[in-house]
Amino acid sequence: MASQRNVFAFQKGVILCTILATIAAQDPSVVTDNNATIFGETVDFEFAEFAIQKKVDVYRGIPYAEPPVGDLRFKAPVKKVLTGVYNATHFRPMCPQVIFHVPGMQPPLEAQDRSEDCLHLNVFVPQSLATPAAVMVWIHGGGYVDNAGPSESLYDGSALASVGDVIVVTIKYRLGALGFLSTSDSVSRGNYGIMDQAMALEWVQDNIAAFGGDPGNVTIFGESAGAGSVGVHLISPKSNGLFARAITQSGTAISPTLLETDFEQMNARAHALGSLVNCDVGGSEKLVECLRDVGVEDLVRAQGQVTGIVGDNERAFLPVVDGDIIPKNPADILKDGSFNRVDAMFGANGDEGMYQVYLAHREWANQTDPYVSKEEFEALLQARLYNYGQLENEVLMESIYFMYTDWETAPNPNANYRHGFSQAFGDEMFVCPTETYARAYANSGATVYRYHFTHWPSKSFFGITWSGATHAEDLPYVFCWHCFPRLNWNLTDTEAKLTMNIIKYWTNFAKSRNPNIPDTENTRTDWTEFIMPNMTYLELSTESKMAAAVRATECAFWNDFFPQLKALTDVDVQPTKHTSKASSVCMGTASLVLLSLMVAISM
């Protein structure tokens, strides 16, 4: 290891020979491998509540692929081979996107710079690390359209590295049309963003030993679309062998709006994009050739217009079942067991859908208890729920309405349906697809842990007081945002302890596939494995506890009942316009189909 990791000093200079001459005396933040000398800088990290102070060697903006520009736009990434001396002391530009911004925080300065030359990664190595060390590779979320620039600050790996004694790698990948445009043929197959991620994982396999890491002990983890990406790598044969463990936070490859199974639909969207930038020029080859010459900012603006055409509850450019990277529908892969068998941790949040209420009604941001009427509940279902607004089949929509109406309060004309919508969206999009993954992996013999994050934060990711444990509210705890003064993210003492617990759980799992490594400085709930039929999971909060069968009834509805109902209604019931009357469930042919299926499933 000493021959692989060579530590030198560095005094900043302008001339290369000056750099090489002064590398040998001071700063222990230079790593060499067979191809290049990479120098970064040492930063101080502090977790004040637990008296943790460490120095972390940080290497920023290391390229893992050639810039995907010109003829390389809409093509698989090409491996970057570094030579000579590389300055890894600053972040590189974000991938082209609409700038992501967390309410209540100033956008990081680096978020202002955007470039297609963005395929870089960052490495965080705590000093005095026992080697070879476990490695955690973070894949950011953002709906496959944003979040790659501000993530440099929001997803600083210093806390995980320092508290957990692991090496953390954060990566960027192509987004939107640049990352996922597909013409449904060999001209542009799509999934370029997923290919970028896989190439970054290959870089880790080839180079992380030089940083003191163990290429055989790599955990990939991500949130939202990042978790969806992890879900893709779990089922993609192209990713086999690139990691040993996985953690998904609120997302899977079977989550609605995080995967496109209709290749022809993606082709139509590619041509729709072309028509918006004067590239409506014929077949796939001419279309893509023209799109390669379009200015990147014009392309980003146009892809937003395509999303508007598709609808608010769906993204225009997504990972697609292409027969190669994703060989077939991931749901079928999970059923037949042909996925990559690694140990995994799967989870979601308790109030996932509240952020959708906020996105639909930003004027409610300053309210303390927004009121969602029965009519608004149905409007939100229609606009935001994938399997509601898309289908326009009365019996299907009424089944969802029935499932998520609180019938104990429904007779009250002033009943608030906000919670019902939040649960409907969260179950369909995140919780129940996660359950499918957890069951498939547990049945395969893998070590599986399941969690459900239910803590209502004192400061919300979305800057509102009524969102509960909604989407993304786990991120400040996983990455210890309050440990970084620049983020201005204050927490209570109990939340600081929750942060410590989560970081320990995540990093312990990465190191040993067991989140429960004894820790004399902190007391945590013992977390037992998720196995069938017990289905135990950790309710993750300031008062964590073990429970069983998270959202069991609701997930039986989405994973078993609803698909069978859809299959029946596709044959027996013609699509109709929703009447917004729950009583219609008890009327007509639709009600007979629904009733017969309910009886059949219950027997």
Q: Using CB atoms within 10 Å of the CB of residue 552, give its burial: 0 to 12 exposed, 13 to 18 middle, 19+ buried.
A: exposed
Same domain, 232 and 354: no
Handedness of CA 338, 340, 344, 347 (dihedral sign): negative
Same domain, 465 and 331: no
pLDDT bracket for residue 553 (50, 70, 90): very high
Domain residues for 201?
54-340
Residue 264 lies in a domain: yes
- Cα(47)–Cα(163) distance, integer angstroms: 8
Structure tokens, 320: 């697609």
* 36-39 sheet: strands from edge to edge: 30-32, 36-39, 84-87
Structure tokens, 215: 């290429």
Sequence-separated contacts (24+) of 292-299 with Cβ below 8 Å: 292/70, 292/71, 292/73, 292/74, 296/96, 296/114, 296/116, 296/178, 297/96, 299/96, 299/177, 299/178, 299/273
Per-residue pLDDT reduced to its tens digit, 565-586: 888 877 543 333 333 434 333 3
Which of 564, 580, 598 terminates a domain? The answer is 564
Instruction: Tell me if residue 352 is catalytic.
Output: yes
Per-residue pLDDT reduced to its tens digit, 171-212: 999 999 999 999 999 999 999 999 999 999 999 999 999 999
- List 182, 224, 255, 467, catalytic entry: 224
Q: Are strands 167-171 and 120-126 parallel, antiparallel or unpaired?
A: antiparallel
Work out the number of other CB atoms within 10 angstroms of the CB of residue 373.
Answer: 14
Same domain, 327 and 362: no
- Cα(245)–Cα(242) distance, integer angstroms: 10
- Residues 558-567, mean pLDDT to the nearest whole number: 91
Per-residue pLDDT reduced to its tens digit, 50-91: 999 999 999 999 999 999 999 999 999 999 998 888 999 999
Q: What local confidence, expressed as pLDDT, does residue 101 receive? A: 64
Residue 293 lies in a domain: yes
Residue 469 lies in a domain: yes
Structure tokens, 265: 């639909």
Per-residue pLDDT reduced to its tens digit, 135-170: 999 999 999 998 755 457 889 999 999 999 999 999
Structure tokens, 252: 């899977």
- 502: domain CATH number? 3.40.50.1820
- List 116, 352, 376, 428, catalytic entry: 352
Residue 457 lies in a domain: yes
Per-residue pLDDT reduced to its tens digit, 114-123: 899 999 999 9
Place of tokens 């996932």: 352
Same domain, 365 and 249: no
User: Worst-scoring range by mean pLDDT, 56-65, 93-102, 127-136, 316-325?
Assistant: 93-102
DSSP symbol at 274: H
Same domain, 289 and 428: no
Residue 10 lies in a domain: no
- List 471, 473, 544, 554, catalytic entry: 471
Same domain, 154 and 169: yes
Per-residue pLDDT reduced to its tens digit, 585-602: 333 344 434 444 443 444
Residue 504 lies in a domain: yes
Q: What local confidence, expressed as pLDDT, does residue 19 receive? A: 41
The answer, yes or no, to whether the previous bond of 132 is cis (omega within 30 of 0) is: yes
Instruction: Tell me if residue 578 is catalytic.
Output: no
Per-residue pLDDT reduced to its tens digit, 6-15: 333 233 333 3
Same domain, 168 and 206: yes
Same domain, 89 and 130: yes
Instruction: Tell me if residue 289 is catalytic.
Output: no
- Cα(451)–Cα(482) distance, integer angstroms: 23
Residue 270 lies in a domain: yes
Asked whether the predicted pLDDT for residue 268 surpasses 80, the reply is: yes
- Residues 400-405, mean pLDDT to the nearest whole number: 93
Asked whether the predicted pLDDT for residue 402 surpasses 80, the reply is: yes
Asked whether the predicted pLDDT for residue 24 surpasses 90, the reply is: no
498: nearest Cα among 472, 522, 518, 468 = 522
Per-residue pLDDT reduced to its tens digit, 460-483: 989 899 999 999 999 999 999 999
Residue 576 lies in a domain: no
Same domain, 365 and 324: no
Q: Using CB atoms within 10 Å of the CB of residue 549, give its burial: 0 to 12 exposed, 13 to 18 middle, 19+ buried.
A: middle
Q: In whole angstroms, what separates CA 544 from the centre of its chain? A: 23
Averaged pLDDT of the chain: 86
Same domain, 413 and 560: yes
Q: How many domains does the chain have?
A: 2
pTM: 0.91
Place of tokens 């909604």: 470
Same domain, 277 and 352: no
Same domain, 325 and 382: no
